A = this chain, B = another copy of it.
Amino acid sequence: MLSWKAKRRKVGKRIPKSSILNPKSYPVIALFDSGYGGLTVLKSFLKVLPKYDYLYLGDSARVPYGPRSPETIQKFSEEGIQFFIKEKVPLVIVACNTISAVALRYLQKKYSDQIKILGVVRPLAEYAAKNSAKKRIGIAGTRATIASGAYKTEIQKLDPACEVIGQACPLLVPLIEENWHHKPETRMILRKYLRSLKTHNIDTLILGCTHYPMLQKEFQKIMGARVHVPNPGDIVAASFEDYLQRHPEIEKKLTKKGTQKFLTTGDVDRFEEFSTIFLEGTKINVQKIAL
């Protein structure tokens, strides 16, 4: 087998088919997203589990996955998973509700012998089923996530008595990506989206899109103090912390230097710009790759 340096010489500046990061193994926590939203999940991981090393891949060239067909979402996310397998990453968290809702089962089934794949829907569903006293739960998400019914299915598997009311909020992603989330127009639009949810007497609202934590305070304010609107990234990170405790054989493998590496399939400058919005000021370095 060629050494990493030899490989680099051979391929020159082009993105090589073999590993671009590490020739033997790369025991970091990988996060995969269709674009930028997963950065809110990473932010929670850095807060809850700061000692580990992270590799974030955003398929920004093909964002948004939300309006695409399930087949296309499966195909695109599969290419992301194959990238991580090639990089010899032991485990990947799909930090995107659309992929988690539409393609996770498919990916887990197909690649279970090669890589551990975790999603965001399951931990959020567990949290909601456990914490909703009234058993009336709202879900806000993209059109694809709401249409998939994934949250409803997962929550009712855990507790069939739970009522789950979904609300698609399709304009929020473009508004947040345009950095308009602090403007009054966004609050007005959000208020209209939540109007019908407010009539359903829910006590827990799950932000089922990784962009929405950027509007968490606004969601909370509109829903009122009687509705709990937790930060979904924090729940996913806490659930993963628990997972690591239950799987010491994985935990002990993971490197612990507190570093982060960012990869994008799209425009590097635009990724850096978004990361400043999503990680609130943190400057990062991004590398471009092809899937």
Residues on A lying within 8 angstroms of B by beta carbon are: 61, 63, 67-69, 72, 170-171, 174-175, 178, 180, 184-185, 188-189, 192, 266-267
Contact = CB atoms under 8 A, between A and B. Distances in A.
A34 to B, nearest CB: 13
B185 A174 contact: no
Given A171-B174, A174-B174, A185-B189, 10 more contacts: A61-B68, A61-B72, A63-B67, A69-B267, A170-B178, A171-B175, A180-B189, A184-B188, A185-B188, A185-B192
Interface centre among A171, A175, A266 (most CB of B within 10 A): A171
A180 B185 CA distance: 12
Contacts of A175: 171
A41 B184 CA distance: 33
A245 to B, nearest CB: 41
A220 to B, nearest CB: 21
Number of copies: 2
Nearest to A63: B67
Contacts of A69: 61, 266-267
Contact of A174 (B61, B63, B72, B170): B170
A184 B185 CA distance: 9
6 contacts: A63-B67, A69-B266, A170-B174, A170-B178, A171-B174, A174-B174
Contacts of A184: 188
A69 B269 CA distance: 13
Contacts of A189: 180, 185
A72 B266 CA distance: 11
A5 B144 CA distance: 38
A171 B171 CA distance: 9
Nearest to A184: B188
Contacts of A68: 61
A63 B68 CA distance: 9
Contacts of A63: 67
A67 B69 CA distance: 19
A260 B244 CA distance: 60
A238 to B, nearest CB: 33
A194 to B, nearest CB: 14
Contacts of A192: 185
Contacts of A180: 171, 189
A174 to B, nearest CB: 4
A82 B69 CA distance: 23
A178 B185 contact: no
A185 B171 CA distance: 11
Contact of A171 (B178, B188, B266): B178
A285 to B, nearest CB: 21
